Structure 1
Amino acid sequence: MFLSSNPLSMRVYTIAEKQLLDVHCRGFMLFLEQIHVLNLETREIVIERIMALDTLDLQIEDLKWVVLMVLFNTPGCESSYKKMEELIFDLNERVVH
């Protein structure tokens, strides 16, 4: 697989990917790339793992857990995993009950 390292390049999603990953999920993945939680390779692994799920109703919370699992299982991504973990749990703590 060829991944462009050009910072101006943009990921074009297939029709099937767009059907499973709504605009909020795709936007969240772009945000994770911009804050250096995901890189090109880990983004593609996340998309591949999402597409392998047996679901037609993917929620953004599901995406967050897949990202965590990919980062946890990818050597050298310890700091990204920590950032993602902090992001998830910090956002959840801000919710007022």
Structure 2
Amino acid sequence: MFDVLVFVYEHFWRGDACPELQQLGRKLSAHGFEPDEIQEALAWLDGLNFAAQSAQVPEPTYALAETSGALRVYSVAEQDHLGAQCLGFISFLDSAGVLPPAMREIVVDRAMAAPGDPVSLDDLKIIVLMVYWSMGQEPDALILDELCEDHTGRVAH
């Protein structure tokens, strides 16, 4: 499913530029994706479209957000499905002020709808990119680098 999502992200620069799901399915099939992988991705994208249309997300400011004292508590099911690595990354984006609460909830919702137990960090990064994409927003360049770069060869100073 995530290969399909990456293909969609790379070929349709914004969520509103993406064709209807039925037409998208035909395009994906023409590019050689498996029918079951296409169906899973289209169902996931349909849920993303629904969540994005119903969310009220402010324009990004990319400054450290002042907290209102609210605390997001994850259910046991969310903790199990997302795992410590993904929850830590969501917390990082939240504390950096680049993932407003409404977008964070969409990320969590779509991660819960994703396969994998727990969801891998690389898959979560694709989910975050797809949420930005569906909202017609592009993440800050440093956050985009964090979402797209392969960190396996990185050496700490």
TM-score normalized by the length of structure 2 = 0.50
Gap runs ≥5 in structure 1: none
CA–CA separation in structure 2 for the residues paired with 1:93 and 1:19: 24
Q: What is residue 151 of structure 2 aligned with on the other side?
A: 92
CA–CA separation in structure 2 for the residues paired with 1:30 and 1:10: 11
Q: Name which of 93, 101, 112 aligns with 1:40.
A: 101
Q: CA deviation at 1:14?
A: 0.9
Q: CA deviation at 1:55?
A: 2.3
In the alignment of these two chains, the number of paired residues is 91
Gap runs ≥5 in structure 2: 1-54, 56-65
Q: Bigger CA drift: 61-70 or 81-90?
A: 81-90
| Structure having the higher Rg | 2
Coordinate RMSD, CA, aligned: 2.5
Higher relative contact order (CA 8 A, sep 6+): 2
Q: CA deviation at 1:86?
A: 2.0
Once the two structures are superposed, the pairs formed by residues 16-27 of structure 1 within 5 Å of their partners are 16-27=77-88
CA–CA separation in structure 2 for the residues paired with 1:56 and 1:36: 27
TM-score normalized by the length of structure 1 = 0.76
Describe the superposition over 1:33-66 as per-residue Cα deviations: whole angstroms up to 9, x where unpaired. 1112210000000000011113223111111111
Structure 1 contact 37–83 (Cα < 8 Å) conserved: no
Q: Does 1:63 align with 2:118?
A: no
Name the SS for the 1:50 alignment partner. helix
Name the SS for the 1:37 alignment partner. coil
